[in-house]
Amino acid sequence: MRTKTKLILSVCVASLGFTQPIKAQAPTRTVTLQAVEDSFLVRNYVLLAQRYQIDASKALVRQAKMWNNPSFSTVLGFGSTDKFQPFKVGSGGETQYTIDQLIQLAGKRNKNVQLAATATKMNEATFDELVRTLRLQLRENFYTLYYRRQTGKVLKEQLENLQRIVDAYVTADKKGSVAHSDLIRLQALQVGIENDYADLKQEELEAQKNLQQLLHTQDFYDAVVTPADLTAYRLDHVELSSLLDSVATNRPDVRIAATQYQTAELNYRLQKAMAVPDLHVGATYDKKGSYIDNFVGLTLGIDLPLWNRNQGNIRAAQLQIGAGKQQLQQQQSVAQTEVINAYQRIVALEKRYKSFDLHQFQDEFDTLIAEVAKNFSKGNISLLQFIDYFNSYSDNAKNINKFLSNRVNAYEELNYATGQELFKN
């Protein structure tokens, strides 16, 4: 029986996938990160909608600069109570014309223009914030897709080769050449790896779905990452103190809070100006109704601020300044905390990354597994030992790719936290 078992294992393990990779199914579309980002900036509907908001707010700035239109009124003679004569405007009839122009005092017009301009700044900062947030999602899903596919290739290769061993054991089990318990152990190993592979494919499909939603397409992608793409991810040129100093100007959400604070201050000035009545200036012509014929006069008008001096709006605007200041300080504090945490996360990951050569470790582990396969085929190690090494190999592939994915995403988190593109080739 032992001789037959060795023969079965020699045939199966000789093709074990640690030495010759199996080609994965051709992807629908191979893309780089740069290609995905270029498509994202022109195809994402949320960004396109926000661009329209920016243009709309610029139009409102132009509108705020406009003067109020003058008003015109007329009185046409209809005779008198004694004698009704509709539209008697000719000889002996009465006609009156009045034109009036509102002139805003206390700089109301300029203050409204400034408020409209801050609305444009707000929409621009909101657009930048959308780009910052969605770009992080895009990159995280891109790298998740890439590293899940790398792990998936290993697991798929393992499953295909394990299936050959299981098939051989099934045949040998029917002949009584191997212990049935050994077949059960192999099938249990197979089920475990199949579950891992299924979970991995679910994560891959989730990343695919997220990319499709961000790019508004139904295409499936195969992410391509070269070693050169990853060389920019290092902290050599980055100082935490400078990042903290610049976060207030580079983070769009901080700029949004600052613009809200500025808006509150401008609104307070406007509300104080609203307490000043506006001036009406005009001219009037009266053909017959005045003390002389063809009377021409200048009209002036102004509201009397006896009861309503805009007190409530002024007080509310003043309180909004205090609220805006606190919100700005809160957002600045949140931004600095996020930068510190993102930076420290990279430092921790880099200590592990630099402590040993992952690629050399992977190559050495591949060699080790190949030797294990040879020794198993010769009967030098037991089935349980082989299963243990087999599991270790799949766990190693998953852990390494997960670590590399976490490392890249940590750098992207720092990009996000600072509002800058710190790591680009």
Write out pLDDT tens, residues 266-284: 999 999 999 999 999 999 9
Domain boundary among 309, 328, 354: 309
Q: Answer yes or no: is pLDDT of 88 > 80.
A: no
In a domain, 156, yes or no: yes
Q: What is the pLDDT of residue 17?
A: 42
pLDDT of residue 379: 74
- Claim to verify: residue 151 and residue 208 sit in the same structural domain: yes
Taking the model in full, what pTM does it have? 0.83
Residues 298 and 362 in one domain: no
Give the distance, in angstroms, between the CA of residue 215 and the centroid of all CA atoms in the same chain: 12
Asked whether residue 424 is assigned to any structural domain, the reply reads: no
Q: In whole angstroms, what is the distance from residue 260 CA to residue 267 CA?
A: 10
């002024």: which residue's tokens?
Answer: 314
- Residue among 319, 183, 332, 314 nearest 254 (CA): 332
Q: 203-230 as b/e, with b when 16 or more CB fall inside 10 Å?
A: ebeebbebbeebbeeeeebbbebeeebb
206 plus 302 within the same structural domain: no
Residue 28 clears pLDDT 60, i.e. is over it: yes
Q: How confident is the model at residue 417 (pLDDT cuts 50, 70, 90)?
A: very high
**Nearest Cα residue to 236 out of 414, 422, 49:** 422
Would 423 be classed as within a structural domain?
A: no
Same-domain status, 255 and 294: no
- In degrees, to the nearest 5, what angle opens at C-alpha 11 toward C-alphas 8 and 15? 135
Residue identified by tokens 């891959």 is 204
Report the distance separating Cα 162 and Cα 376, nearest Å: 13
pLDDT digits (tens, 9 = 90+) for 120-149: 999 999 999 999 999 999 999 999 999 999
Looking at residues 390-399, what average pLDDT do you find?
85
Task: Identify whether residues 76 and 209 lie together within a single domain.
Answer: no
- Between 260 and 87, whose confidence is greater? 260
- Higher-confidence position of 84 and 98: 98
**Per-residue confidence band for 79, with pLDDT thresholds at 50, 70 and 90:** low
Residues 35 and 179 both lie in one domain? yes
Do residues 222 and 344 both lie within one domain? yes
Share of the chain above pLDDT 70, in %: 89
Q: Which residues contact 56 (CB under 8 A, 6 or more apart)?
A: 123
In a domain, 345, yes or no: yes
In this structure, are 263 and 351 located in the same domain?
yes
Is residue 291 one of the residues assigned to a domain?
A: yes
Q: In this structure, are 305 and 157 located in the same domain? A: no
And the tokens for 336? 């600095």
88 plus 26 within the same structural domain: no
Position 89 confidence tier, pLDDT thresholds 50, 70, 90:
low
Q: Are residues 53 and 93 in the same domain?
A: no
H helices of 65-179, in order, are 108-175
- Output the six-digit token pair for 331: 């957002």
Report yes or no: 69 and 99 within 8 Å, Cβ to Cβ: no
Angle at 164 between CA 169 and CA 396, to 5 degrees: 105
Return the top range by mean pLDDT from 22-26, 53-57, 186-190: 53-57
User: Does 405 reside within a domain?
Assistant: yes
What is the number of structural domains in the chain?
Answer: 2
Q: Of 255, 287, 309, which marks where a domain is finished?
A: 309
Residues 6+ apart with CB under 8 A from 376: 9, 13, 383, 385, 386
- Domain span including residue 86: 70-103+277-309
Domain boundary among 309, 332, 354: 309
CATH no. for residue 122? 1.20.1600.10
pLDDT for residue 108? 94
* Judgement on whether residues 261 and 304 belong to the same structural domain of the protein: no
- The position carrying tokens 């004569």 is 85
Q: Is residue 425 domain-resident?
A: no
